[in-house]
Amino acid sequence: MTKDKALEELFLAQKPNFTDNDAFMAALTKRLDAVEYVKQHQEATIRRYKMMMVAAFVVGIISGAITIAWVLSTPTNVPLFTFHVQTGILKWLAENSRLIATTLLSLLMTFGIISIINNVQDILQMRVRLYNGDLR
């Protein structure tokens, strides 16, 4: 496609000369400083978040392992807990205490893992937002 000569001349004639380049660059540097500050703050938040997650993970693993070890180390013919009553449901609970404790423990650990995965996703999204310039 060929250029329209008259239009081209008109555009080139109106090419502006900026006299405030220094002021523009100074304002930009100031904004970049502010952005850098927010970026560092957000990176520090992500680091703290990560540390807390690692700590929660370690505590969860250790306490889970201790509880499982305790459940496994108790004699199998003795229930984990008793209610000293003979009513139907409580008796059933006492008889199946080992199974119930293991199930609850597994559920707890599953929720823990799900929350860790959510946190990892949150951190990744924060990172993406941070590097895409969305600093809200």
Partner 1 sequence: MTREVFIAQVEREQEALRGFLLALCCGNKGDADDLAQDALVKAYLSSAGYQDKGKFRSWLYKIAYNTFLNNKASLRCTESIDEARTLVSSTGSDAEFEHQDLYLALRTLPPKERSTITLFYLNGYSIKEIAAITDTSEDAVKKQLSRGRDKLKEKLKI
Give residues in contact with partner 1 (CB under 8 A).
1, 3-4, 6-8, 10-16, 18, 21, 24-25, 27-29, 31-32, 35-36, 39, 130-133
Contact present, 95 and 78 (Cβ < 8 Å): no
Nearer to partner 1, 10 or 52 (CB): 10
Contact present, 27 and 111 (Cβ < 8 Å): no
- Least CB distance from residue 45 to partner 1, whole Å? 17
Nearer to partner 1, 117 or 128 (CB): 128
- Least CB distance from residue 37 to partner 1, whole Å? 13
- Least CB distance from residue 6 to partner 1, whole Å? 5
Q: Compute and round to an integer the Cα radius of gyration of the chain.
A: 32
Nearer to partner 1, 7 or 78 (CB): 7
Contact present, 80 and 71 (Cβ < 8 Å): yes
